[in-house]
Amino acid sequence: MPEFVHLHTHSHYSLLDGLAKVDQLIDRAKELNMTALALTDHGVMYGAIEFYQKAKKAGLKPILGVEAYLAPRKLTDKTPKIDSVYYHQILLAETLEGYQNLLKIVSKAHLEGMYYKPRIDLEFLAEHAKGIIATSSCLGGMIPQALLQDDYPKAEQLVAKFIDIFGKNNFFIELQHHPKMADQIKANPLLIRLARQFDLGLVATGDIHYTFHEEKEAHEVLLAVNTGAQLDQQDRMTLAEIDLHMESPEFFAEKFAETPEALSNTVKIAERCQLELKLGDNLLPQYQVPDGLNDNQYLEKLCLEKFDYRYRQENPELQEKARQQLAFELATIQRMGFASYFLIVQDFVNWAKDAGIYVGPGRGSAAGSIVAYILKITDLDPISYGFLFERFLNPDRISMPDIDMDFADDRRGEVIQYVKEKYGDDHVAGIITFGTMMSRAAVRDVGRALGMTYGEVDVVAKLIPPPVQGRHIPLKSALTMVPELQQRYDQEPAIKRLIDLSVQLEGTVRHASQHACAIVITPRPLTEYCPVQAAQKGDVGQVTQYSMKPIEDIGLLKMDFLGLSNLTVMRNATRLIEKVYGVKVDIHNLPLNDEKTYSLLSAGDTTGVFQLESEGMKRYIRELKPSVFGDIVAMVSLYRPGPMQFIPSYIARKHGREKIEYDHPKLESSFKETYGIPVYQEQVMQASKDLAGFTGGEADTLRKAMGKKIAKLMAEVKVKFIAGCAEASNIDRATATRIFHRHRDCRGRADGA
């Protein structure tokens, strides 16, 4: 069996040009018994980390690369008609230094060389060529273009230039097999001649854009979606005359029988590419602490200095509990190496407060940290409210903390600007996010490309069930769920074609945008960790080309800076009250037992009240007639898909119309506040500690398994829970199983608690 490695491969991260998903490419390469595979998307490295991790897991060597764009002159030249021309250039990372150079090349192209395409020039390429293997690329490359223009001397000059940039051992002449393309037939012999003349290696490539031959029409549809054309248009962009699927090694051995080295060189290149990325480190920026102190010491010093502000001496019992919790949290934070994280967050949060910017009191699990409370990152006392630190930072599992911060939306940009000034413009960026073609959208896109009428397509799209709890229904599932859709699929060829093509496009990346609130801050310039591109809007000048998960997997610090209009409204309201009535309202010290407030809530007068103003919520609030602050918190937590089914019971139990029962007496302490109904993840965590003897870390693992529905982890923790209940509380297996399932099925979640 011949050996061969694909070195020119596009995934769906070549937006609306590549159809193949990363998983499909890897699976097919494995089926073809290949040992390695390269990813070379057009001008971007969006999929690099995903591809690297998945290929490694599959036992396939990942080769990270890019098909860059070369400017005809300097990358900064942008003269119409002259510089709108661009050339393709395959670049592969041979080493870690080569990968880091790719990051810089791609970033430079987007930030400074963008003109129709993100371009670099030969000068910049020469400065960042170390550790990179390059080829002459497809017919869009500089050298093939010179040959197609019958300018062999220019091609010779370019070959000499590329040899000068990369060296003979790192520059190869690329051949492709497209027998229906006259230009390819013309170029190949000339490319071979150049390789012989300059003693360069040949490589055969496939220029993959989709996985299987059967996806050719779907790829044509994708191109039509890209250009807004219809398939039957004569002048549309098309690649129908060439095959761009992943061919087998046997195919290449047959087609390049006269140049077998073009196959063997692909394997040699793969063997030379020895890139190993170190993922999972905590790459926190360095917070400047006073001389003579390290991060841990300074964090502890700040907490001790600010302790009495939060926990006054008139309550010695609470103060002692707080001291013990503080000691535990500081030890955990220091052991995990996250002291710098807290110092960074408290710095910009307190800067914002000092600048008069309204900051939210706390969002998500960070409210469970007494360190965050003492440092004024949050304004909710975790001891008084029963929040659990382990939900925020699991002592048994080191993972980056995640503190989400709310700022008045009209001043959010000021906070980001402060961070940029403190850590450097080139250390701060937004994070990219990708929109994919889900079932309904895919049907509409494909329908337009096929020239179907809006009415025809709309009927089919509306037969697809809407998302359930945010999860889109795949087209294949929709067929089994909706008899009318299946019937039309079976009986109408046009509808069958529409759906079949839509299935192939479903899940394909359609566009890139910027995450609404996520910001990354790096210890060294961003381009040492990931490629970046210009932000299209917002308060940051650039965004990463890696999305949220790869950023976290690399180990970079990601924070959510949310702009909240309600905070702006509250600020404006308090200012207006002071101006009109002369009363200065302190929103951080409002009484939580004000009868007039509860009367307004019970009447459903909640228009403009954050999270309480929808018609559905107003109805439930009127039925509930809240009398304590906990009722409001519980209602906000229950009013979401899943837990919403328990709202009638919660209301009935509060008013004594339904009996409150517990599966075990030990559960009362955890669920008494919510009338026996599991509303908060903290309650389930505490119950697992009380019943099964779980540690805080084990309780958080249980929360994670239930909250994210991780089947394997759920099965493991269930066994541990049942065994723990028997040992710690003498609970029989049937009862323990019932309790576990009840907590799992409730899936309550208090985001603000």
pLDDT digits (tens, 9 = 90+) for 91-149: 999 999 999 999 999 999 999 999 999 999 999 999 999 999 999 999 999 999 999 99
- Quote the pLDDT of residue 747: 55
Q: Please tell me the pTM assigned to this model.
A: 0.90
> Is the pLDDT score of 8 beyond 60?
yes
Higher pLDDT, 40 or 680: 40
User: How far is 559 from 400, CA to CA, in rounded Å?
Assistant: 10
Which alpha helices (H) appear in 5-141, and where do they start and end? 22-31, 48-57, 96-111, 122-127
286 DSSP assignment = P
What's the mean pLDDT in 498-526?
96
> Is the pLDDT score of 548 beyond 70?
yes
User: Cβ atoms within 10 A of the Cβ of 335, count?
Assistant: 11
Contact 532, 543 (CB under 8 A): yes
Q: Worst-scoring range by mean pLDDT, 25-34, 167-176, 306-315, 443-452?
A: 306-315
> Is the pLDDT score of 746 beyond 80?
no
What's the mean pLDDT in 586-614?
91
Q: Worst-scoring range by mean pLDDT, 112-121, 209-218, 601-610?
A: 601-610
Contact 207, 219 (CB under 8 A): no
What's the mean pLDDT in 665-687?
90
- Percent of the chain at pLDDT > 90 equals 83
Q: What is the pLDDT of residues 147-156, one digit of tens each?
A: 999 999 999 9
Q: What is the pLDDT of residues 42-77, one digit of tens each?
A: 999 999 999 999 999 999 999 999 999 999 999 999
What's the mean pLDDT in 594-623?
92
> Is the pLDDT score of 752 beyond 50?
no
- Quote the pLDDT of residue 748: 44
User: How far is 139 from 175, CA to CA, in rounded Å?
Assistant: 9
- Quote the pLDDT of residue 316: 87
What's the mean pLDDT in 361-379?
94
The tokens describing 206, both together, are 């496939």
Q: DSSP letters of 345-372?
A: HHHHHHHHHHTT--B-S-BGGGGG-HHH
> Is the pLDDT score of 356 beyond 60?
yes
Q: What is the pLDDT of residues 399-442, one digit of tens each?
A: 788 899 999 999 999 999 999 999 999 999 999 999 999 999 99
The tokens describing 318, both together, are 């609470």
Q: What is the pLDDT of residues 284-303, one digit of tens each?
A: 998 999 999 999 999 999 99
User: How far is 113 from 534, CA to CA, in rounded Å?
Assistant: 11
pLDDT confidence of 283, banded at 50, 70, 90? very high
pLDDT confidence of 751, banded at 50, 70, 90? very low
The tokens describing 370, both together, are 């007494």
Identify any residues that bridge with 435 across adjacent strands, giving them in sequence order.
511
- Percent of the chain at pLDDT > 70 equals 99
Distances (CA, A) of 414 to 361, 421, 435: 19, 10, 28
> Is the pLDDT score of 707 beyond 80?
no
In single-letter form, the type of residue at position 606 comes to T
Identify any residues that bridge with 69 across adjacent strands, giving them in sequence order.
88, 119
User: How far is 162 from 170, CA to CA, in rounded Å?
Assistant: 9
- Quote the pLDDT of residue 750: 40
Q: DSSP letters of 90-121?
A: EEEE-SHHHHHHHHHHHHHHHHT-EESEEEE-
pLDDT confidence of 753, banded at 50, 70, 90? very low
Domains and CATH numbers, the chain: 22-211+246-272 (3.20.20.140), 295-433+513-567 (no CATH), 589-746 (no CATH)
In single-letter form, the type of residue at position 691 comes to L
- Quote the pLDDT of residue 244: 97
> Is the pLDDT score of 749 beyond 60?
no
By C-alpha distance, which of 438, 23, 18, 39 is closest to 219? Answer: 18
Q: What's the chain's average pLDDT?
A: 94
Higher pLDDT, 148 or 711: 148
Q: What is the pLDDT of residues 306-315, one digit of tens each?
A: 999 999 877 8
Half-sphere exposure (CA, 13 Å, Cβ side) for 222? 30
Tokens 């307004």 correspond to 600
Contact 382, 373 (CB under 8 A): yes
Q: What is the pLDDT of residues 162-194, one digit of tens each?
A: 999 999 999 999 999 999 999 999 999 999 999
